[in-house]
Structure 1
Amino acid sequence: MRLIFTSLVSHGHLYPLLPLAVAARDAGHDVLFATGDDMRPVVEKAGLASESAGFGMHDAFASAFGPDAPPRDPNASPESFYPVIGEVFGNVLPRRFFADLTPLFERHRPDLVVYESGNAGGAIAARLAGIPAIGHGFGRFSPGEVIDIITSRLAEYAAEVGFEGVDLPSFGDPVVDICPKSVQSPDFLAGANRIPLRPVGWAEPGDLPAGVVGRDKSRPLIYLTLGTAFGDEGVLKRAIAGLGRLEADVVVAAGPTVDPAQLGEVPGNVRVEAWVPQAELLPHVDLVVHHGGSGTTLGAFGTGLPQLVLPQGADQFTNAEAVVAAGVGTRLIGADSTEDAIFEQSRKLLADDEVLGAARNLAAEVAAMPSPAEVARRLPEFAG
């Protein structure tokens, strides 16, 4: 069977699809992955064929507002940015992906398209080409005002190209859902044709930081990251200062948006890296302090780890809400994320047996979800 997977051009949207794409290839299917040039090397390192489609977030925002658009005011409310997000995700990105994927689908004529749920252009291109398709989530589905704005803008574009049925995130198609059911949005669960899939962490191969393997386990290990898109030097500095006061060891992944050198001198129990293989690191960790990105949130769910969430944007605020509601952690938002608060909340989480028990129960739920190999065996039934 010929399969085309397609995702937006970012780690957080691409990585969740790779386990199923690789499992489908290993099951003997002909798999092609269509995404932007920036992410194609990642796909090819996974041993998958790729073709170019779409463009990255920076180019998408520049296309919408021009390269000289003023940066977002860090003191502005998240809601003030919603119209910008609506334009980019509801018009600019779908328009570009539809334009690129339509001829690609015509050339390859796949039996099934698996489109990442943020990639509306993939859903529209498959439907209008008459090709069966299923969605693939990248985390917890988070209905709310920003999704309503994206949907409204997307409906305008869809009508322009003759597509009906804008119903995010599924467009009426079955959806591969990598979020455990107990923490998934009730609004999504109420109407979705859901294909559960165990979230499998994906990271490019790499060595763990020195001292992680074989460390003294009498001292907790804390992992601090703000992900690949929302790194903030000030937040990282406050978190490092707070965590450095604990009787613990701390590994920091600065990510591509923050130069580790900008963080200055750090406490002796803190090690700063530009990047770490997160999926390999998490089993060694006792607490995750992070931004609330879907990959890190789900990775902590699957590893049974308490979480302190410092949300910075996008779906991170609703992910933080889900962490708190599940009893597996807490959150600090905006001005509340002070050095003292990060220290105090982390100290409490490391000693909270109730939170640890809830985290382990959630990890057991994740472990019971179908594996990528199991879901790959089901793909032919969706090809029609």
Structure 2
Amino acid sequence: MLFTTSAWPTHYFSLVPIGWALQAAGHDVRITCAESQTDTIARAGLTPVPIMDGLEMTFASRLARYQRALAAGGPYQPGSILHPLTCEPLRRLANFDLAGYRAAHREANLDRMRVSCDNVVAHARAWRPDLILHDPQNVEGVLAAALTGVPAVCNLWGFVGTHETEPGLGIVTGDHSDSFPRYGLPEMTADMITRVIDPCPAGAPPMTTAERFPVRYVPYNGVGHAPDWVRAKPADGRPRVLVSWSTALSRVYGQHSYLLPTILDALSKVDAEVVLAATPADLERLGDELPSGVRVLVGCPLRLILPSCAAVVHHGGAGTTMTAVLAGVPQLALTFEAEQAMQGRRAVAGGGGFQQDGTEATAELIRDQVTALLTAPRYAEAAERLRAEALDRPTPAQLVDDLEKLVG
């Protein structure tokens, strides 16, 4: 079984339990990846094959946001778009020389993408897998499957599918390197993805035209451990509220998207135990803005802390959203991009929380909505119903049977 993954770690995380299930069933699993993913994959007990390349993901996201703003040609709020190279807010779009950047780097960037495609194709032809499993933003797996004639399955990482109709929700990025035509194939489109592994509860399906292989989402948020106090609810009887925030968001959307100080200020006035799942960079950045009384967790996977929580505040990332669903925890998703917003909306559509535009999130709004999650039973009841739906999906071990039948 050959897995191919994009260079964003959380996209790869959702593949891990499926890899474990396949290995436990006796199958040989390899994961082609970028060099930067090697240790992350190996620590999960799976076999990395670091032969892929491409643009760094936050840079690619900044460049894409800049190009969309330039193409829109409409009113532009100074500072809302970051310089793709320096991350500094742009007062004018003209302050980044897109034509000059393309002249200097476009061909080299495309060559990196072409080499990545060629490497995965060569590995697939030499190793001859029986199945290729890829994520929505990985074109190499789709290409290799088409050229070797083996079945391909796209692994969705959350509530957003391959054929969403809302603007900005095109998570299938396409082949910018023209590698499909180089190999004599039509240009890649989302319609080339004909099978998806769908980890979502039946009542909140992601949009896709592909055949669905339902599976229960099994949370994996990296390796780590939890201190003893995490395993039990607060001894003083107060509810526990978890705060988890993206470390990469501000490198794409700017400093205004770093809402941790606002969130922590809001929760300091809520009668709850507040736990911050933080990175060392978060703690350095917060400095004196970290309120007293906030319990800090560094390196603790969310799946270990969420079951003891009464609510979670986060940025709408698929991993956090889906882990909270499986824990049955009401959510407040404060989102900045279209994919995050859809993750949040679908997760709380049954009444298990709130999704808000992060640019409009004030301390008062956060405080009021978290208070509602903690005091109105209907939110916890809705989150528990969604959890029951999620648990009703086939396990990864049962998914192995479906994949084996697909291989024949």
- Work out whether the TM-score is over 0.5: yes
Q: For the Cα contact (< 8 Å) 1:38–1:56, is it kept in 2?
A: no
* 1:107 Cα deviation from its structure 2 partner: 2.0
Give the match for residue 277 of structure 2. 253
Distance 1:106 1:145 in 2: 37
Q: For the Cα contact (< 8 Å) 2:324–2:330, is it kept in 1?
A: yes
Change in 2 beyond 3 A, CA 1:62/1:164: closer
1:164 to 2:186 alignment: yes
Distance 1:336 1:75 in 2: 21
Change in 2 beyond 3 A, CA 1:75/1:293: farther
CA-atom RMSD in angstroms: 3.2
Q: For the Cα contact (< 8 Å) 2:44–2:223, is it kept in 1?
A: no
1:174 to 2:172 alignment: no
1:264 to 2:283 alignment: no
Give the match for residue 21 of structure 1. 19
Matches within 5 A, 1:321-340: 321-340=345-364
Find 1:43's aligned residue among 20, 41, 44: 41
Change in 2 beyond 3 A, CA 1:45/1:184: same
Q: Deviations over 1:284-321 (max 9, x none)?
A: 11101000011111111111111001113351011122
* 1:372 Cα deviation from its structure 2 partner: 0.8
Indicate the structure (1 or 2) with the bigger Cα radius of gyration: 2
Distance 1:268 1:227 in 2: 22
Change in 2 beyond 3 A, CA 1:380/1:298: same
Change in 2 beyond 3 A, CA 1:57/1:226: farther
Distance 2:399 2:236 in 1: 37
Distance 2:236 2:54 in 1: 41
Q: Deviations over 1:69-96 (max 9, x none)?
A: 24274999xxxxxxxxxx9xxx798645
- Give the TM-score of the pair, scaled to structure 1: 0.85
- Give the TM-score of the pair, scaled to structure 2: 0.80
* 1:322 Cα deviation from its structure 2 partner: 1.6
Change in 2 beyond 3 A, CA 1:246/1:357: same
* 1:116 Cα deviation from its structure 2 partner: 1.5
Change in 2 beyond 3 A, CA 1:68/1:213: closer
Matches within 5 A, 1:133-148: 133-142=152-161, 143=164, 144-147=166-169
Give the match for residue 111 of structure 1. 130
Distance 1:316 1:96 in 2: 31
Distance 1:63 1:156 in 2: 20
Give the match for residue 327 of structure 2. 303
Change in 2 beyond 3 A, CA 1:223/1:199: same
Give the match for residue 85 of structure 2. 69
Deviates more, 1:146-155 or 1:37-46: 146-155
Amino acid aligned to 1:193: E
Matches within 5 A, 1:132-281: 132-142=151-161, 143=164, 144-147=166-169, 158-164=180-186, 166-168=188-190, 171-185=192-206, 187-188=207-208, 191-209=209-227, 211-214=229-232, 215-216=234-235, 218-230=237-249, 234-255=258-279, 258-265=281-288, 266-281=290-305
Q: For the Cα contact (< 8 Å) 1:60–1:92, is it kept in 2?
A: no
State, as a whole percentage, how many aligned pairs show the same letter: 29
Distance 2:91 2:240 in 1: 32
1:372 to 2:396 alignment: yes
Helix, strand or coil for the counterpart of 1:309? strand
Amino acid aligned to 1:164: P
* 1:181 Cα deviation from its structure 2 partner: 2.3
Q: For the Cα contact (< 8 Å) 2:175–2:188, is it kept in 1?
A: no
Distance 1:21 1:152 in 2: 25
1:99 to 2:122 alignment: no
Amino acid aligned to 1:260: L
Listed as ranges, the gaps of 5+ residues in structure 2 are 64-82, 93-105
Distance 2:60 2:202 in 1: 37
* 1:156 Cα deviation from its structure 2 partner: 6.0
* 1:227 Cα deviation from its structure 2 partner: 3.0
Q: For the Cα contact (< 8 Å) 1:165–1:171, is it kept in 2?
A: no
Q: Deviations over 1:209-246 (max 9, x none)?
A: 56323431611111111134325684111101111211
Helix, strand or coil for the counterpart of 1:118? coil
Helix, strand or coil for the counterpart of 1:301? helix
Change in 2 beyond 3 A, CA 1:285/1:367: same
Find 1:312's aligned residue among 336, 355, 358: 336
Change in 2 beyond 3 A, CA 1:280/1:99: same
